[in-house]
Each structure stands twice: as structure tokens, then as C-alpha cells.
Amino acid sequence: MGEIDIRSASAENVESVAGLLMKQLDEHRIDAALDAVRLAVDGMLADPSRGFILVALSGKGTVGVAYVSFTWTLEHGGKSAWLEELYVVPDQRDRGIGRAMLQGVLQRARENGCAAVDLEVDTQHARAERLYAREGFKPHTRNRWVRAL
């Protein structure tokens, strides 16, 4: 994998984190405004009770990001983590960065008292499905729905 440092994001990472998250959303054809993404990143960093953001740093700068929110669920009997996004820049994929970031997410979720980590995978993203399956995730049989307010 080379020299990759996976750590918690900080205020100095806001622009690179927001930029990578925008690339991830664009890759999945999700329309989001950069200002809204920055606001979410700022809010997450300002209040650790909301969740956490991990970054993967290399000599090339920030090459990966994981954005995780905490939720309180019936299904898991309390606090759980929602891995909303995990993104590695395309030219850095296939180097174990995504797996290392996912393991970092699982460790941080455990340290924060989470009973489980939930996530979703785009139906056309078999590569991500393989990563999550290798790490013990199992698919749900239900679909996620959303309505903006």
C-alpha cells in the first residue's frame, strides 16, 4: 500500500474532504451542492457526538475519505454507525486503501460504543460489494427510500 496515513479529519482537511466527497457523489450521480457538503463536514467536525470523518493521506495529499454518522436504532438496540461515504481517488485504488479505511471505520465505531455499522452500495458497484463482503458485511433484503424536506 505504500506510506498511507489514516487519521481523523480536522479543520485543515475541510476543503480536501469536501472535494473528495463531491467527487464521490458525482461518481454516483448524486446531485449535491458544494456549500451543503462543506456545511455537513464542518458540522461533523464541530460535534464529535454526530460521528467522524477519516482521511487517508499520502505524499499525493488526501487520497481517501470516510464519512460516518452515528444513529440510535431499534434494529441494533442503540447506537450504531452509518457509513455514508467511503471514497478513494481512482488512481489510488487497488492498493488496500479502501480496506484500511474500512477497518479504521470499524475500529472507531467500536471505540464509540456502536453495536453495528450500516451502509449502502450502489447496485452497479460490484467492487464495493466485494470489499464489504470480505469484511463481513451482509446485504439487507430491503431498499432504502428518501424524501427531501
Angle at 25 between CA 82 and CA 5, to 5 degrees: 65
Whether 129 maps to a domain, the answer reads: yes
pTM: 0.92
Per-residue pLDDT at 79 exceeds 70: yes
Q: How many domains does the chain have?
A: 1
Per-residue pLDDT at 1 exceeds 60: no
**pLDDT grade for 141, boundaries at 50, 70 and 90:** confident
Instruction: Please state, rounded to an integer, the average pLDDT across all residues of the chain.
Output: 93
Whether 143 maps to a domain, the answer reads: no
Whether 105 maps to a domain, the answer reads: yes
Question: Of all residues in the chain, what percent carry a pLDDT higher than 90?
Answer: 79
Whether 139 maps to a domain, the answer reads: no
Whether 44 maps to a domain, the answer reads: yes
The per-residue DSSP string of 44-94 comes to HHH-GGGEEEEEEEETTEEEEEEEEEEEEETTTTEEEEEEEEEEE-GGG-S
> Of the given ranges (31-45, 60-74, 76-90, 135-149), which has the lowest mean pLDDT?
135-149
Whether 30 maps to a domain, the answer reads: yes
Give me the pLDDT at residue 101, please.
96
Give me the pLDDT at residue 146, please.
84
**pLDDT grade for 109, boundaries at 50, 70 and 90:** very high
The CATH number given to whatever domain includes residue 81 is: 3.40.630.30
Mean pLDDT calculated for residue range 62-79: 96
Give me the pLDDT at residue 59, please.
87
Whether 124 maps to a domain, the answer reads: yes
Whether 148 maps to a domain, the answer reads: no
Mean pLDDT calculated for residue range 104-132: 93
Structural domain for 27, as ranges:
5-134
